[in-house]
Chains A and B, each alone.
Chain A
C-alpha cells in the first residue's frame, strides 16, 4: 500500500486525473467527459488513501478489489491506474485509438490494475458481491469497493445484489455512488427518482453515509471508516456535480456526449489547473 497521501496531494492527483481525461477524450473524440469529471475526487481518494493494492503485483491475492461499474468513465479509470503506477501514463495516449488496448469502456484485457471489465451498467455490484462473499467465507482481510453511477441504480440487477449483500451481512463490501444527479437523457429526478436513497439502503440492511463527493477530506473520512457498521455493507452516497471542474460543462447532459474541441480543451485544462 502507498504511503498515506496528504489532502493537497489528493487534490493534485484529482487535477491530474481531470486533465488526463480531458486530453484523452478530446483527442479520441469520444463521449463521457462529464462522467469522468464527476468521479475524479472519488478515484483520487480511493487510490491515494483507501485501496490496499500493489502496482508491482496487480494480481496480488490479498489486494483490495475495486470494480469501476460505471464503465463509460473509462478515460479517468485508466488515468487513475496509470497515476497509481500500474502502467506508464504514456499509454493513455492510445485511449480509444485504433490498435490500442484502451477501449472506450473499462476493459481489463491488457490493462494492469483493471480488476473487471464493464460498460454495460448494472454488472459491477453483483460481481463485487460475489467477490465479497468469497472473501468473507475465506476469512480474507481484503475488501471490495464498487464505484457506480446514479442512473445505474435504475438497473434491477443492483437491487438484487443490494438485497443479497444485506442479507449475507457482507461488511467487506462498500459501494461509492457518484450521485451527480444526471443520467443519459435528463436529470435523475426527472427519469427515475432515487430519493430517499439512504433510507432505501438502510431498509435493505446496509449502512449508508452521505458525503460531498468533491471534498477529499470528507470522502477519506467516510471511506476510512468502512465498514460503517459491523455486519452491514457500506454505501457511500457521494453528492457530485457532473462535469465538475470545468464550469461550462457542469450540470449539462450535453457533456455526457460531446468531446471538447482543441480550443475548448485549452480553456478546460486552464480551469482545472487553476482549481
Chain B
C-alpha cells in the first residue's frame, strides 16, 4: 500500500504543483524519488509531528494540497490537537497519511501499534477517514483524497500486501465497494483485513453460504445505505478491522445499526481487543493472538451462525 501510495503521489505531483509532501523524518527508501523530482513540493519537518501538521495547515491555507507522512501514532495522536484545530476546524487541505496502520510494526512495541487511530480521527469534525483494503484501493484512495477539497486521513499498512481487486473498481469516498453478494451474512472489512475477509468469504461460499463482502474503505463518512441494506437483507453482519473494536469500523457500523428499526440482523465486531499488547510478536503472530487470522475469523463466524441456526431450529 505504501508503494502504491507514493507512486501515485509522485504522478499527481508531476501534474499538479500544488501537491506537497511534508514528512516527519520518516520515509527512508520511500520518499527519495518524490524529494528529488519535486524539491519545491517536499520538506522534511524533522522529528516534530506537531510542527509538521502546523506547517502543513499553513501551507494548505495558501492554496497547497499537503500530505503529511509518518508512522501510525506519530502521524495522528502526537499532533492530535493540531489536526483538530489547525486542519479540521479550518478545513485546511491537509491529508494526514499514516503508515503501519494496525499491527504492521508488531514486534516494534506498543508505541508502534496503531490501534485507536481510526476511532480518534473519526471523532473529528470535517475529517474523512480512509483505510484502503489493498494496493489497488490505496492508489484509488490517494487520487480521491487529492480531488477532495478538505481534510482526510489515509491509513496505510506497510508494503507488500496482497491484491484483492483484480481490476480497478469504481471508487468514490464514502461509497463502499461490494465485492460479492449473498444474503446469509455480510462481511464488512476495512484496511488490510479485506484480504482476510475475502479468503474467509471464499471458504464460506464453498460451504454453500451466501456471503456478501463489502470493502468499507471510507470509515467516515460511513456508507449508511450499504450498512442498512446488509442489516436488513442478510442474516448476520460482521465487521473486520485491524483496529480496536471500540470506535473504529465496528463502532461506526454499530452506530448506524443501533438507529435502524428493530428486527435487523445481529452484529459481531471482529477486531483488536481494546488493550495494550503484552507479548512481543510480528504482525501475523499478534493478529492470531487477537483472533484476526483467517482460521480464527472463520471459527468465530461459524460459531455465531451455528448458534443462530440452533435457536431457529
Give the interface of A toward B (CB within 8 A): 28, 30, 71, 74, 94, 96-107, 109-110, 117-122, 151-152, 154-156, 183-186, 191-192, 253, 256-257
Contacts and interface: CB of A to CB of B under 8 A. Distances in A.
B111 A155 contact: no
A256 B25 CA distance: 12
Given A99-B279, A104-B108, 7 more contacts: A74-B109, A98-B282, A104-B112, A109-B278, A186-B44, A191-B46, A192-B46
14 contacts: A28-B107, A96-B108, A99-B280, A99-B285, A100-B280, A101-B280, A103-B110, A105-B111, A106-B109, A120-B78, A154-B45, A156-B51, A185-B23, A257-B28
Name, among B23, B26, B110, the residue most crowded by chain A CB atoms within 10 Å (CB to CB).
B110
Contacts of B108: 30, 96, 103-105, 119
Interface of B: 23, 25-29, 31, 44-48, 50-51, 73-74, 78, 107-112, 278-282, 285
Given A71-B111, A117-B110, A118-B111, A102 B280 contact: yes
B109 A101 contact: no
Given A96-B107, A117-B110, A120-B73, A183 B25 contact: yes
Contacts of B31: 185
B47 A183 contact: yes
A188 to B, nearest CB: 9
Contacts of A104: 107-109, 112, 280
Residue picked from B110, B280, B282, most chain A C-beta under 10 Å: B280
Contacts of A105: 108-109, 111-112
A100 B277 CA distance: 12
Contacts of A94: 280
Contact of A191 (B25, B28, B107, B280): B25
A119 B109 contact: yes
Nearest to B111: A119
Contacts of B45: 154
Contacts of A106: 109
Nearest to B107: A96
Contacts of B109: 71, 74, 103-107, 117, 119
B25 A184 contact: yes
Contacts of B29: 257
Contacts of B279: 98-101
Contacts of A121: 47
A99 B45 CA distance: 36
A104 B46 CA distance: 22
A152 B25 CA distance: 10
A97 B280 contact: yes
B111 A191 contact: no
A13 to B, nearest CB: 25
A192 B44 CA distance: 9
A85 to B, nearest CB: 23
Contact of A156 (B50, B73, B74, B278): B50
